[in-house]
Chains A and B, each alone.
Chain A
Amino acid sequence: MKKILALALLTFLSFSCSEDNGNNSNEDVSATFSFSHNWDGAEVNNTEFNTIQFTNANGEQMSIEKLRYLISNIRLEKADGETLYTSGHFLVDVTNDVNLVFQPYTAIPKGDYTNVIFTFGFNTEDNYSQTYTDLNAASWNVPDMLGGGYHYMQLEGKFIDNTDTETGYAYHAIRAVDNSDPIGLLFQDTFIDVELGPVSISKDLTFNIDMNIAEWFKNPNLWDLNTLHNMMMPNFNAQITMFQNGQNVFSLNEITE
């Protein structure tokens, strides 16, 4: 009797020695999300940063010194209404050329999907439901006086203003908040769900996604940096304008296998 027990333990231990990762179903693939950036079609990497070389729709010449933004809640929808949620969020950091490519841990079953969606920023629940130690360590927080939670994007640089002076701008996107009454903050959601459309998945694949940075200043609202170039976090209308201009910033370039 004791021998059987010992043998069982032995088998168990031998197994626990090996590093198996479970879940190796042949029906699962992994999806990668890769972000590239452009200014109305001209590629932008951090090598293009720090010099005035872009012209926005309103005619200001400008540079980019910092660009980082948050992507979360990547999910895939099926025709039967079922949605596969992947876990995790990631901070795309173009300034340091890191995290431009993200692979959710969640394995994705092969099959036909009617839509693939990600969130720019955090939806309201994700924004306040928990502490993200990685985002705190990156000082990505929104002050409590504006409701807390996290930034969606930080885009910063310089522009030549209408007095011919090089001036800093800080285009920071967060959840829109009206703080005219500090103890009764009023919010409006400004995260953006970006839909990549239907896809049939049969093997590992990469979604190559483009961000056209110029769009933030263009459409439908022409952005005049002379009138608005900083202190945008507590500015409710500025956040709504960013949300509207953000609708067509992202596009699916191609899916590669």
Chain B
Amino acid sequence: MRHWLVYSILFIICLSCSNEPSGSNTYVPTPSPLQIPQVFEDNILAPIIPVNNIQTEEGIILGKKLFFDTILSENNTQACASCHNPGNAFTDPARFSVGIDGSIGTRNSMPLFNMAWNYDKKFFWDGRVFSLEHQALEPVTNPIEMNNSWETVITRLQNHSEYPKLFEEAFGTTPITKELVTKALAQFERILISANSKFDRYLLEEATLTPQEENGLNVFMDETKGDCFHCHGNPNNPLWTDNLFHNNGLDAVFTDIGLGEITGDPADNGKFKSPSLRNLIFTAPYMHDGRFNSLEEVINHYSEGLQDSPTIDPLMKKVDEGGVHLSDSDKADLKAFLLSLSDPSFINNPAFNNQ
């Protein structure tokens, strides 16, 4: 008889140990933790997931639908995917993306992948937004992008035949808010993981590099040649970016001052976030203003096209000669190596595409 008492106390204590809200009628969506690729697991810190927006199956489904839906734009013509197209590793092939009314911005769209590993959580070319959740607030109301108001978006979603149910499944609440929209978008964006390039398989000893790619890696890693690794990662940091801000010598006089606009510090003028070098085969044109159409142009820039300015990064060498002047064969090998960082399985992943 007393056993019963002891066991029920035991049960209560077990319950009180956990931090979960108790009560069986609270709806909990299905957790769906990020699948961390081996090359990241082996080498770098865990991804950053905000505690108040954990990944769930229902949240990701909703986020994906929103990402591909033109309902977010004022005249129902543009989705996030219009400028962030899966086939282009979630950027677009235009130099400057075109907004809903044909207006043209001044920045090249950015590819979207591995964003949960952007540890400082600074997004955009100039780092002006902190966290993915906040980032997604911007394009919807940006006049040269979706040019909408959040009130309109919420009303449309609320009156939609499917969305109210999807929001309820994802977050367990009925009123749709812009915060929930951005949370869902962020959940979808976090699953956009690219870690299956030829070079990743080489790191896992499942592929071998050609002699060209191997020499290209050496050019990349050699401080007297490319010296790319100080800013763009290395085989032990397979993000292939430092996610930090630098002036890589594009201009002597800036038309866009980048980070300087955000911090107000002239020492930051002309600095932009180092992009990842993954998936370059799909992401042309290159740089914050899409000025280079090919990797040859990018490599020639670093090799002999450097422009001096007060904030140019100290790692840019022989600036008075335009750069270190790589040999033609080193340039070709460097390009071959860079292409080994591209990951076709990423653009073809059905989980990331609109069906």
CA–CA, A134 and B119, complex, Å: 11
Does residue A17 face the partner (Cβ distance < 8 Å to B)? yes
Given contacts A6-B10, A7-B6, A65-B314, contact A137 B234 (CB under 8 A): no
A230 and chain B: residue at smallest CB distance:
B317
**Is A157 touching B314 in the complex (CB atoms < 8 A)?**
yes
**Is A168 touching B13 in the complex (CB atoms < 8 A)?**
no
**Is B314 touching A156 in the complex (CB atoms < 8 A)?**
yes
**Among A51, A141, A234, which residue has the most Cβ atoms of chain B within 10 A?**
A141
**Is A6 touching B6 in the complex (CB atoms < 8 A)?**
yes
- Which residues from 254 to 290 on chain B have a C-beta closer than 8 Å to any C-beta of chain A? 265, 267
A2 and chain B: residue at smallest CB distance:
B3
Known contacts A3-B2, A133-B45; 20 further A-B pairs (Cβ under 8 A): A6-B3, A9-B10, A10-B9, A10-B10, A17-B16, A49-B267, A50-B265, A65-B314, A133-B43, A139-B233, A139-B237, A141-B229, A141-B234, A145-B222, A156-B314, A166-B310, A167-B319, A168-B313, A168-B319, A230-B314
**How many residue pairs bridge A and B at CB < 8 Å?**
102
Give the chain A neighbours of B43 by CB distance below 8 A: 131, 133, 136
- Chain A window 1-31, contacts with chain B (Cβ cutoff 8 Å), 1 for yes, 0 for no: 0110011011001101100000000000000
**Is A144 touching B6 in the complex (CB atoms < 8 A)?**
no
CA–CA, A17 and B237, complex, Å: 39
Give the chain B neighbours of A143 by CB distance below 8 A: 221-223, 229, 234
B43 and chain A: residue at smallest CB distance:
A136
Give the chain A neighbours of B222 by CB distance below 8 A: 143, 145, 234
CA–CA, A13 and B16, complex, Å: 11
4 closest cross-chain pairs (CB), A and B: A168-B314, A50-B267, A143-B221, A156-B314
- Chain B window 1-43, contacts with chain A (Cβ cutoff 8 Å), 1 for yes, 0 for no: 0110011011001101100000000000000000000000011
- Chain B window 296-323, contacts with chain A (Cβ cutoff 8 Å), 1 for yes, 0 for no: 0000000000000010111111011000
Chain B nearest Cβ from A204, distance in angstroms: 29
Does residue B235 face the partner (Cβ distance < 8 Å to A)? yes
Does residue B349 face the partner (Cβ distance < 8 Å to A)? no
**Is B45 touching A165 in the complex (CB atoms < 8 A)?**
no
**Is A10 touching B2 in the complex (CB atoms < 8 A)?**
no
Does residue B230 face the partner (Cβ distance < 8 Å to A)? yes
Does residue B236 face the partner (Cβ distance < 8 Å to A)? yes
Q: Which listed residue, A131, A141, A165, A168, touches B317 by the CB 8 Å rule?
A: A168
Does residue B158 face the partner (Cβ distance < 8 Å to A)? no
CA–CA, A49 and B314, complex, Å: 13
**Is B13 touching A134 in the complex (CB atoms < 8 A)?**
no
Does residue A205 face the partner (Cβ distance < 8 Å to B)? no
A4 and chain B: residue at smallest CB distance:
B6
- Which residues from 196 to 254 on chain A have a C-beta closer than 8 Å to any C-beta of chain B? 230-234
Does residue A169 face the partner (Cβ distance < 8 Å to B)? yes
**Is B13 touching A3 in the complex (CB atoms < 8 A)?**
no
Chain A nearest Cβ from B49, distance in angstroms: 16
Give the chain A neighbours of B126 by CB distance below 8 A: none
**Main DSSP-derived SS at the A contact region:** mixed
**Is B315 touching A156 in the complex (CB atoms < 8 A)?**
yes
- Which residues from 27 to 78 on chain B have a C-beta closer than 8 Å to any C-beta of chain A? 42-45
Give the chain A neighbours of B237 by CB distance below 8 A: 136-137, 139, 141
Does residue B242 face the partner (Cβ distance < 8 Å to A)? yes
Q: Which listed residue, B6, B223, B233, B236, touches A10 by the CB 8 Å rule?
A: B6
Give the chain B neighbours of A66 by CB distance below 8 A: 314
Give the chain B neighbours of A2 by CB distance below 8 A: 3
Does residue B224 face the partner (Cβ distance < 8 Å to A)? yes
A179 and chain B: residue at smallest CB distance:
B222
Does residue B177 face the partner (Cβ distance < 8 Å to A)? no
Chain B nearest Cβ from A144, distance in angstroms: 7
Does residue A37 face the partner (Cβ distance < 8 Å to B)? no
CA–CA, A2 and B315, complex, Å: 71
Does residue B135 face the partner (Cβ distance < 8 Å to A)? no
- 21 residue pairs from A and B, CB less than 8 Å apart: A3-B2, A3-B3, A9-B10, A49-B267, A50-B267, A136-B43, A136-B44, A136-B236, A139-B230, A141-B229, A143-B221, A143-B222, A144-B221, A158-B314, A168-B315, A168-B316, A170-B314, A172-B223, A231-B317, A232-B223, A233-B223
A17 and chain B: residue at smallest CB distance:
B17
Give the chain B neighbours of A14 by CB distance below 8 A: 13
CA–CA, A65 and B268, complex, Å: 11
Chain A nearest Cβ from B119, distance in angstroms: 6
Chain B nearest Cβ from A54, distance in angstroms: 14
**Is A131 touching B313 in the complex (CB atoms < 8 A)?**
no
CA–CA, A17 and B19, complex, Å: 11
Does residue B141 face the partner (Cβ distance < 8 Å to A)? no
CA–CA, A66 and B311, complex, Å: 12
Q: Which listed residue, A13, A50, A231, A233, touches B14 by the CB 8 Å rule?
A: A13
